[in-house]
Amino acid sequence: MKATIHHKDKLYNVNLAKPIDISIPLSAGENPVAWYLDAPVFEAVTDGDWVGRVSAGGDVNFTTITFNPHAHGTHTETAGHITEKIHSINKHLKQFFFIAEVITVVPEPEGDDLIISKKQCDALLKGKHPEALVIRTFPNSRDKQTRKWSHTNWPFIKEDAMISFRMSGIKHLLIDLPSVDKEKDDGELLAHHAFWDVHGKIRLDATITEMIYVPHNVPDGTYLLNLQIAPFENDASPSKPILYAVENS
């Protein structure tokens, strides 16, 4: 099934029959975990002799899932993640299709850290100003889908790069790390603050999506992004970002 997208005076041909899922599912098996939490819990409901599991004699599968959106897989968040008022992702994300650019970044050493710099991103974007930016970090091993991230000091995005993204009009940032910020930064959250302009004209319609996974066989370039969320009235929700390859026509 093919469609033509008209966006900012450009036409893009899109094959909707070939979605590229870059989400990491929430799972009762192997699951990525961050922020010093344990794995999510999937538990069949019980009531006396009744159990919510068909394989155990129940008439239906009836499972309670305990998890944290920020720690247990792909999630999309609003500025409410770092503001006193918990702005709801469900209320503020009102559009779901965007032209996106995928770039692959090799984080650079800076002291004891690995960082993603403005210079790197500028070179990779080559003057493009997409609505959404998808950052794949290298190395890109599949264990990102199950990695235990706590106490790993993962790479992070420098504040000036996030300011540049905001100034260029990028509204939706997606990355394959647990956070755009340094794991242990004494609560400064410089990248989050810069992207959402929390101390200026706050961007409640802008989102950050973390813990994605972009497979090796997805080349850098331009895509149509469908940013799907669950309707949680919360600062963040589990999400399912889908890419579609596009061609200018």
| Per-residue pLDDT tens digits for 120-150 | 999 999 999 999 999 999 999 999 999 999 9
Q: How far apart are CA 196 and CA 247, in angstroms?
A: 30
Look at the block and give the residue holding tokens 């999506």.
209
**What span, in angstroms and rounded, lies between the C-alpha atoms of 245 and 91?**
28
pTM value is 0.96
Within 8 A by CB and 6+ apart from 48, the residues are none
The per-residue pLDDT for 6 is 82
Which tokens sit at 148?
Answer: 């235990």
Judged by DSSP in three states, 71 sits in: coil
Does the pLDDT of residue 10 top 90, yes or no?
no
SS3 91: helix
Kindly report, residue by residue over 48-80, the tens digit of the pLDDT. Answer: 999 999 999 999 999 999 999 999 999 999 999
2-27+69-248: in CATH 1.10.10.10: no
Q: What is the DSSP letter of 148?
A: B
pLDDT digits (tens, 9 = 90+) for 165-200: 999 999 999 999 999 999 999 999 999 999 999 999
- Residues 80-134 pLDDT 10s: 999 999 999 999 999 999 999 999 999 999 999 999 999 999 999 999 999 999 9
Quick one: pLDDT at residue 248? 66
